[in-house]
Amino acid sequence: MSRKLIVGNWKMNGVRQSANDIVLALKQRIANDNNLRADLAICPPFTLLESVGRRLGGSDVALGAQDCVVVPEGAYTGDVSPIMLKDAGCAYVIVGHSERRQYHQESNALIKQKATAAIKAGLTPIICVGETLIERQSEQTLAVIEKQINACLPDSATSQNCVIAYEPVWAIGTGLNATEAQISDVHAFIRRTLIQLNPSLNKVKVLYGGSVKPSNAKAILSLGSVDGALVGGASLNPSDFFAIAQAVS
């Protein structure tokens, strides 16, 4: 069985001082626990990639970004390309987060292009999918997820070069949790959808995200269909983020 992956999504939080404090505290905890059974990654804002990457040096914690554009370079003021992220030391990039879909009107088609460009640059895209509350209440969840997976997954995707994160929009930053049954159902459905797309996608890691915290991490990460977690708010607290990683047994 492959190791579970715990990814911290810092969102638009942090300046160098607070970022350094978090990374230092996290590295200390890792150094004191040689029994950690999860792989870790941190996705700080663009401005902190360089300094966080440097501070993480020598640890097993991978670096990731929160978004990228499709083109490699050129006259695109304000944008950052996958090649630049790779050059900055990133291994991962989150694409299609619901906050990008909501605030930047990102479509499934664009997310597919971003994920494709990320893979081409040697990054592992973490492709986010998830239903809104209205979609869940009107029993659209599986239809929405199926559409997102089919439309967002790059043709070049393999079990090794991409990751999916199931994040019910209504559970992000709200303290609301999907139940274990809801998580299991959707994760199993995602697995079936991936295999239908291409049987070789049967080992793509499928993370869960949405108000994951130390108090619920064990229950969520013990589910056989959950290959890890995408952690927002709790990843800004090194004790909480580390406790979530420790919940992997």
Binding site for ligand PGA (CB under 6 A): 9, 167, 172-173, 209-212, 230-234
DSSP 56-79: HTTSS-EEEES---SSSSSS-TT-
Using alpha carbons, select from 58, 126, 128, 115 the residue that is nearest to residue 92. Answer: 126
- Quick count: other Cβ atoms within 10 Å of Cβ 183? 21
For ligand PGA, give the closer residue by CB, 95 or 234: 234
Choose, from 73, 97, 99, 180, the residue flagged as catalytic.
97
For ligand PGA, give the closer residue by CB, 85 or 208: 208
For ligand PGA, give the closer residue by CB, 209 or 228: 209
For ligand PGA, give the closer residue by CB, 97 or 191: 97
- Going from the C-alpha of 125 to that of each of 66, 91, 111, 223, the distances in angstroms are 10, 9, 10, 23
State the Cα–Cα distance between residues 211 and 226, nearest whole angstrom. 15
Q: How far is the CB of 8 from ligand PGA (least distance, A)?
A: 9
| Catalytic residue flag (residue 104) | no
Q: How far is the CB of 216 from ligand PGA (least distance, A)?
A: 11
Q: How far is the CB of 196 from ligand PGA (least distance, A)?
A: 26
Closest-by-Cβ residue to ligand PGA is: 232
Choose, from 106, 135, 167, 187, the residue flagged as catalytic.
167
Q: How far is the CB of 167 from ligand PGA (least distance, A)?
A: 6
Across the chain, the runs of DSSP E, i.e. the strands, are 4-9, 38-43, 62-65, 92-95, 124-129, 163-166, 205-209, 228-231
CA 164 vs. chain centroid, Å, equals: 7
Active site residue ranges: 97, 167
